Structure 1
Amino acid sequence: MTSKSHSERDCVEFVRTVLDWLDEHDESDASTASLDDAFALLADQRRRLLLAVMRTYGEELTLPDAAEEVAVRETGHSVTNISAERVQEVYLSLYHDHLPRLVDAGLLEYDQERDLVAPNAV
């Protein structure tokens, strides 16, 4: 028998925590669908990073600033060591894919006219 890595143990613990949560709550179709929706939103690393950036700052940011911060967190490099093309690619994927999903879910707000992203106040 091989020992599990730290990340494998973390994953197992997380799954057990979610299963315990499900046992404590009504496993109706509505809660199951909500859980599926939540996991679908969190399945993509870039969406998780954008949510983490917004939680870190706790206030509105321009989408270009948020894209820079997501790129920094993706690469582990300082913004001065990331190409403008990479930041632009992150910006475009946030704008066209990830941000609309998070706005539709009610997690973030977006003012397109001012290109500002903010945590949802609700």
Structure 2
Amino acid sequence: MNRNSDDPDSAFGRSLDDVFRALADHHRRRILSLVRARDGDLSESDLASLLVAEESGKPLLDVTDNEHQRVHTQLRHVHLPKLAETDLLRWNEARGTVATGLLGAAAPILDGASADADSGELDGVLSALAVERRRTLLSVLREKDALEPGELAERVAVREVRRGAGESTPTPTDDEIASVRASLRHSHLPKLAGVGLVDRDEDGVSFDGHPAFDPRWLHLADE
């Protein structure tokens, strides 16, 4: 797999959902951080050694062959294909090298990720944000203290039908609002509540922030 395209337009061939999904793994975020810190190509072998050293807190010279081989295998078969598929890394599989790809929205996500956040917790938050409707939902909730489910569904539906509509202001149909409400109830709200991004009580649904969440992530598509 040779991902060496320098065409910046290829960055628009992936969705923001794809970017969040690729970054919802602390190993892949660490890989990107290590590659970003170096100019030019980095060999897979060197990257594997750096990963072991950083994750174990040991000097590079103390990295064992078994540790190196284990991480190198994970790189080639799991993480590098995923990052190359989304063009976040340029991976020359034949040469065994990687370089920074077309980061786009990934850069502010990586930069906004709190160094103090638990890596597993951040994985969950980024995974939950890998669906556009959930990001729209949170954007709506950040403007209100709390909303009952019906009003929340209507506001989300309005934003969705007007996204990309230019100066026109289309109105969602009752069926569209009902469909949004059903998806919020059965899928999106449980997922967001499960990672602590929303609260649900008798007052409705609310969002009060999260230590692993950067609100700027909700506006990446606008930048």
AA aligned opposite 1:71: A
1:71 aligned onto 2:157: yes
Measure how far apart 1:86 and its partner are. Answer: 0.7
Aligned equivalent of 1:39:
126
Name structure 2 gaps, 5 residues minimum. Answer: 1-5, 17-101, 211-223
Q: 1:45-60, aligned counterparts within 5 Å?
A: 45-57=132-144, 59-60=145-146
* Contact persistence 2:11–2:104 (CA under 8 A): no
* Contact persistence 1:63–1:115 (CA under 8 A): no
Q: Structure 2 length normalisation: TM-score?
A: 0.42
RMSD (Å), alpha carbons = 3.3
State how far apart, in whole Å, the 1-side matches of 2:107 and 2:143 are. 27
Percent identical residues: 33
Q: 1:1-122, aligned counterparts within 5 Å?
A: 2-4=7-9, 12-19=103-110, 25=115, 30-31=118-119, 33-57=120-144, 59-76=145-162, 78=169, 81-111=171-201, 114=202, 116-120=204-208
Distance change >3 Å, CA 5–CA 51, structure 1 → 2: same
AA aligned opposite 1:67: A
Name structure 1 gaps, 5 residues minimum. Answer: none
Structure with more helix by fraction = 1
Q: Structure 1 length normalisation: TM-score?
A: 0.71
* Contact persistence 1:106–1:120 (CA under 8 A): no
Distance change >3 Å, CA 36–CA 90, structure 1 → 2: same
State how far apart, in whole Å, the 2-side matches of 1:121 and 1:40 are. 16
Name the larger-Rg structure: 2
| Secondary structure in structure 1 of the residue aligned to 2:200 | strand
Distance change >3 Å, CA 108–CA 18, structure 1 → 2: closer
Distance change >3 Å, CA 6–CA 40, structure 1 → 2: closer
| Secondary structure in structure 1 of the residue aligned to 2:143 | helix
* Contact persistence 1:110–1:116 (CA under 8 A): yes
State how far apart, in whole Å, the 2-side matches of 1:98 and 1:63 are. 12
